[in-house]
Structure 1
Amino acid sequence: MDINIILICRSSGRRYGVIECDPVVLKDYDKGAYLFLPSAVMRTHGVKQQREAVKRTPQEQLMSVFEALDILGTTRWRVNKRVLSIVDRIWNSGGRLAGLVDRSDLCSPTKPETDDELLLKKWKWKTRSVKKENMERHSQRCDIELKLAVARKMKEEEGFYYPHNLDFRGRAYPMHPYLNHLGSDLCRGILEFAEGRPLGDSGLRWLKIHVANLFAGGVDKLSLEARVAFTENHLDDIFDSADRPLEGRRWWLNAEDPFQCLAVCINLTEALRTPSPETFLSHVPVHQDGSCNGLQHYAALGRDKLGAAAVNLVTGEKPADVYSGIAARVLDIMRRDAQKDPEVFPDVHHARALVNQVNRKLVKQTVMTSVYGVTYIGARDQIKRRLKERGAILDDSEIFGASCYAAKVTLAALGEMFEAARSIMSWLGDCAKIIATQNQPVRWTTPLGLPVVQPYHRVGRHLVKTSLQILALRRETDKTLTRAGHGPPAEDSFPPNFVHSLDGSHMMMTAVACKKAGLTFAGVHDSYWTHACDVDVMSRILREKFVELYGTPILENLLESFEQSFPSLSFPSLPDRGDFDLKEVLDSPYFFN
């Protein structure tokens, strides 16, 4: 499958959208990155106010942002040929393994030869269901073919690069849309660092931890030493996965991220079979991921001791699991409710039905999205889907009532554990609501000096009459969204967008510091990657930069900017904050792990 994506590469003349030589250094809003095609430093999607805000910003103010993007764009990658060959074997044999879609379509059901309306109705329903499934499979097959086409074209290259730019909040993304390290497990398993580095004294240990982190069944919630032990106890399975990935026991398929796990199994096997594993050159990126990172940022903003402990900002013998913590609180509340008088408390029967259903998975999605402003309706629908998956409650009306009750209890438990986060979210939303009354978008500047303008405006229509038809073109108006029903209103969208701008700043600060320390660095929002031998250094740096980021008066600066921009408006006072000592993050082994 020949593919033309974005760019003609200077060295070969072929078109991929990935660069085979160093990207051009960013010098202005639209100067840098690709060699021939213009590329902007921010994806504004046609929002004039955001584009103009970045263009008007002095270059000196944006130098830290430009430097971080240049560092991310000059990380050199290559294709992992062994993993690609295994992917090709699976794909050529029909898919259906390691998360790859089935390459064949489902057969449409035969129409029954009957006049029975019920049977015909079931046939129509099943036909629609099969058609929908086949359309989804077709879409997934096209996506995989694009990824594999790029990988096959690039597999003989010694190295290539992914220029990066930002979304409007300041989060960094590769410009190339198909095969990149922000993609699926398939993409991440196929890609590796072009530069290899000796494992050294600590690299072998981190490779073993990385195997455990990629596995399913909560292994990544064990202590670091327990994860090492898990890998060492499965060395026979790891060797078998590397030697006979498809003919053997296929242990790697049990991983949550199977292709990444297979890549590490192959790398670890090769290292352990050398006379000196410490000198073995490893190309595998090893990840350090934040623990419910949005809540980590809220805990730091609010100096919240309870919240900080729940999301691993403090020292502990093993990682705290915020999802299990919320599930335990939910279970306690439901057990108390189950003992109440049904005549006084109408949700008693829901509490009794759900007591045996509460676990980490039931509340995980709601906890994850709480930092992004999940509503009661959203939480109810999330929990409803989990209950339907289990099939424990069969009656639809009963599931609905139980979901309503469970959502209410889960949000209450979240409010108890993350009271400071809730108060900051409310304060941010209130400020945005006040600004929206002036028909103005919310604007702020990130700690790295990047101006941000929320791009949410009402959409109007412009009619173009032709001799054949009337075309209705959508266009952005000057009216800011202020209430639900027309898109994300300012008070709902500002808190998550603001926190995203902070996690983007933390990642870019870490990238710059890692480059100065001589490390190879790649970032996927709240997941930071480097060579196995350098994980300890990167771990120290990312903690230091987090403390440095929140050592600045972020909320105070935000309030001051609002008051300067809208002197006639009255904004609420800053929420009360706790006395958590940020320096505890420096010694927390599971802050990122």
Structure 2
Amino acid sequence: MKQQKLHLVRKIVKGQDDSKPWGQDAQAKVGSRLIELLMETAYIQPPVDQRADGPPDIRPAFRHSLRTIIKEQQKFSRRYGVIECDPLVRQGLDRTARHMVMPYMPMLVPPVNWTGYDKGGHLFLPSFVMRTHGARQQREAVKRAPRKQLEEVYEALDTLGNTKWRVNKRVLGVVDRIWSSGGRLADLVDREDIPLPEKPETEDEAETKKWKWQLRAAKKENSERHSQRCDVELKLAVARKLKDEDGFYYPHNLDFRGRAYPMHPHLNHLGSDLCRGFLEFAEGRPLGKSGLRWLKIHVANLYAGGVDKLSYEGRMSFTENHLEDIFDSADRPLEGKRWWLGAEDPFQCLAVCINLAEALRSPSPETAISHMPVHQDGSCNGLQHYAALGRDKLGAIAVNLVAGDKPADVYSGIAARVLEIMRRDAEKDPVTEPNALRARLLLNQVDRKLVKQTVMTSVYGVTYVGARDQIKRRLKERGLIVDESEIFSASCYTAKTTLTALGEMFEAARGIMGWLGDCAKIIASENQPVRWTTPLGLPVVQPYRKLGRHLIKTSLQVLTLQRETDKVMVKRQRTAFPPNFVHSLDGSHMMMTAVACKRAGLNFAGVHDSYWTHACDVDLMNSILREKFVELYDKPILENLLEGFQQSFPKLSFPPLPERGDFNLKDVIDSPYFFN
């Protein structure tokens, strides 16, 4: 049997042209046979202290089985091939995880400048300027684009990649202490599993059923904890490896929409609060008077809990009123009052407390050196882009494109509008108006938290069903409405009211979203993907195509692989286009800002709609990012898009451009809370 299979493998290998990469079929067949050989030859034996009396317990380390998994919501079942490792193998992997070798680590030397699709980034590891995930048309579009057309994109990626970072050793030390004592603090996962419930000694079906549910929930929780522990261990492994380095770099590349990402996956500034707490600029700069002010504002921003919605003066006062807590957090992070643990971003808050305490205790705080990145974040940034596109004055005021005494909070604004509609409905006769009772029930429930997720996702084209489910989850969390049917009807009513309020406040955004969707539908109906070029010259092709099933018979089992067909997914092309287009614009704004900051001598890092620099340079960065936003939207973006569609599809008829308002874009320059 083995000889026969060996002959088949040799035949497959021999039939391949050495000058071409192996096809999917050959890879699957050879890969399956290699897995089979591993299972046939890999055995495991428990350690001496775990062995029972009798013959040695030698068993296969890996097993292959077929499982039927029932998809309850879709009402169908499917059989999957599963390779399982013995529990002893898993235990060994857990123990050795911290010693594993990881590719794509941060670089100790500056990345190679980008000059082509696969030319740049890492010195030796394969690097690609775009993460295309197998989307051939997108990959070819970038490869065909002239180098001159992509020069500004390459320069922006090089700028982001040349920012030098280092590990904050004091924060790492605190995390190590928390982790070694079991986790559970500052959003770190508990290192212990929860105990599994014991099976009841009863024949009562209800009790047995209850136990099974509890067992399933406990196993699910333990599985999630295991996954989170692995994630923390990976982040810690990278931080420990790099803690004694003078500095390191993150080469960046793009997703297909033109948003920039660090190529290293585990410990980077796009990551969680834990990652961001570990990282600081390798270069230190004197704070100066301006930097000291921004460091204090940054403490309030990270503490959040509503403090970040105050005016700058209010945030400064918050920090100054908590100086004793800040010093205590810096001096005795785990033994003291632990004020920093109350922050929304605790590890970042701790890092700034340490830096601010050092500065304030120095003989001259303004000359103290700071390595801390200070963030400036957009206010509901997707809606900011829509307001600028539509020159929408009402929308611009709601998302801080216009100066105000304190930051406008779009979520509170929508909540107030929803409450206004519900109050009107509550006064109506419940006999003729069924929503009157629902409105009365919900009057005390409407706040920014109830509508926040729906407002955030509105820019991504959230549907009525999506909004209803989001609001239903919030109402369930509160537990004031118990009856399922009442929760459902209340969620339906609130979702409709929230979407109505959004449509009223962001009428221009709704109009542009609708126009973009209509154009995409017209193009996709011709079985063509939607494609456009960003203001920085990056070609974008939406990758959504229908998938076909392809069967490959291997020595292990029949594999079902998915392959893209030549047919586009019309609905997906339509619904994804508005958010993808706006993401391509926010990516353009970030890259334009990065290049301008580099030319002004600033250290810069960008996380989509969050821009970072040294505390002393925040004022200059704020000026640059506002100028670049105005520069971006001074271009006829929608006109260029429509012209591109008409040139590509001259026989198709597209709807006219949506009407736009009279908002003066230059007001952004003087708006202190546009990014704050």
For the criterion TM > 0.5, the same-fold answer is: yes
- Partner in structure 2 of residue 243 of structure 1: 331
Cα distance in 1 for residues equivalent to 2:654 and 2:440: 45
What whole-Å deviation, never above 9, does each CA across 1:12-32 have from its counterpart, x for those lacking one?
xxxxx1100011111111101
Which amino acid letter does the alignment assign opposite residue 102 of structure 2?
I
- Partner in structure 2 of residue 544 of structure 1: 627
Match of 1:472, SS?
strand
- Partner in structure 1 of residue 179 of structure 2: 91
**Alpha-carbon contact 1:431-1:571 (below 8 Å) kept:** yes
Which amino acid letter does the alignment assign opposite residue 276 of structure 1?
S
Match of 2:570, SS?
coil
1:60 aligns with 2:148: yes
1:308 aligns with 2:396: yes
**Alpha-carbon contact 1:216-1:254 (below 8 Å) kept:** no
- Partner in structure 2 of residue 519 of structure 1: 602
Cα distance in 2 for residues equivalent to 1:574 and 1:417: 20
1:481 aligns with 2:569: yes
- Partner in structure 1 of residue 100 of structure 2: 3
* Matched ranges for 1:371-520 at <5 A: 371-483=459-571, 489-520=572-603
1:181 aligns with 2:269: yes
1:269 aligns with 2:350: no
Which amino acid letter does the alignment assign opposite residue 623 of structure 2?
R
Cα distance in 1 for residues equivalent to 2:354 and 2:277: 11
Cα distance in 2 for residues equivalent to 1:466 and 1:99: 45
Cα distance in 1 for residues equivalent to 2:298 and 2:258: 28
Shift of 1:491: 1.2
- Partner in structure 1 of residue 305 of structure 2: 217
Cα distance in 1 for residues equivalent to 2:330 and 2:555: 65
Cα distance in 2 for residues equivalent to 1:6 and 1:566: 44
1:132 aligns with 2:220: yes
- Partner in structure 2 of residue 530 of structure 1: 613
Cα distance in 2 for residues equivalent to 1:246 and 1:24: 42
**Alpha-carbon contact 1:206-1:535 (below 8 Å) kept:** yes
Shift of 1:432: 0.2
Cα distance in 1 for residues equivalent to 2:102 and 2:576: 33
Cα distance in 1 for residues equivalent to 2:284 and 2:565: 51
Shift of 1:556: 0.1
Gaps of 5+ in 2: 1-97
- Partner in structure 2 of residue 559 of structure 1: 642
Which amino acid letter does the alignment assign opposite residue 127 of structure 2?
S
**Alpha-carbon contact 1:327-1:363 (below 8 Å) kept:** yes
Shift of 1:468: 4.7
Match of 1:369, SS?
helix
Shift of 1:471: 1.4
* Matched ranges for 1:142-181 at <5 A: 142-181=230-269
Cα distance in 2 for residues equivalent to 1:341 and 1:112: 53
1:200 aligns with 2:200: no
Cα distance in 2 for residues equivalent to 1:5 and 1:169: 28
**Alpha-carbon contact 1:111-1:123 (below 8 Å) kept:** yes
Shift of 1:283: 0.3
Cα distance in 2 for residues equivalent to 1:468 and 1:135: 28
Cα distance in 2 for residues equivalent to 1:292 and 1:123: 45
Which amino acid letter does the alignment assign opposite residue 671 of structure 2?
S
Shift of 1:118: 1.2
Q: 1:522 to 1:467 in 2, by over 3 A?
A: closer
- Partner in structure 1 of residue 139 of structure 2: 51
Aligned length: 579
What whole-Å deviation, never above 9, does each CA across 1:6-57 have from its counterpart, x for those lacking one?
25xxxxxxxxx11000111111111011000121100000110000000000
Cα distance in 1 for residues equivalent to 2:393 and 2:556: 66
1:39 aligns with 2:122: no
**Alpha-carbon contact 1:3-1:150 (below 8 Å) kept:** no
Shift of 1:363: 0.2
Cα distance in 2 for residues equivalent to 1:546 and 1:467: 58
TM-score by length of 1: 0.97
- Partner in structure 2 of residue 108 of structure 1: 196
- Partner in structure 2 of residue 592 of structure 1: 675
Q: Report runs of 4+ in structure 1 exceeding 6 Å deviation.
A: none
Match of 1:192, SS?
strand
Shift of 1:348: 1.7
* Pairing partner for 2:347 from 226, 235, 259: 259
Which amino acid letter does the alignment assign opposite residue 654 of structure 2?
F
Cα distance in 2 for residues equivalent to 1:376 and 1:586: 36
Shift of 1:472: 1.1
Shift of 1:113: 1.0
- Partner in structure 1 of residue 437 of structure 2: 349
What whole-Å deviation, never above 9, does each CA across 1:92-146 have from its counterpart, x for those lacking one?
1100100000000011111111111111111111111111111100000000000
Q: 1:468 to 1:204 in 2, by over 3 A?
A: closer
Which amino acid letter does the alignment assign opposite residue 248 of structure 1?
G
Shift of 1:395: 1.1
- Partner in structure 2 of residue 13 of structure 1: none
Q: Choose 1 or 2 for highest CA Rg.
A: 2
**Alpha-carbon contact 1:482-1:491 (below 8 Å) kept:** yes
Cα distance in 2 for residues equivalent to 1:191 and 1:51: 33
Which amino acid letter does the alignment assign opposite residue 299 of structure 2?
V
Which amino acid letter does the alignment assign opposite residue 167 of structure 2?
V
What whole-Å deviation, never above 9, does each CA across 1:509-538 have from its counterpart, x for those lacking one?
000000000000000000000000000000
Cα distance in 2 for residues equivalent to 1:224 and 1:468: 64
Shift of 1:467: 4.9
Which amino acid letter does the alignment assign opposite residue 99 of structure 2?
D
Q: 1:512 to 1:468 in 2, by over 3 A?
A: closer
Shift of 1:66: 0.1
TM-score by length of 2: 0.85
Cα distance in 2 for residues equivalent to 1:159 and 1:370: 40
Q: Calculate the aligned-residue CA RMSD, in Å.
A: 0.7
Cα distance in 2 for residues equivalent to 1:468 and 1:348: 62
Cα distance in 2 for residues equivalent to 1:473 and 1:323: 44
Cα distance in 2 for residues equivalent to 1:467 and 1:283: 57
Gaps of 5+ in 1: 8-16, 484-488
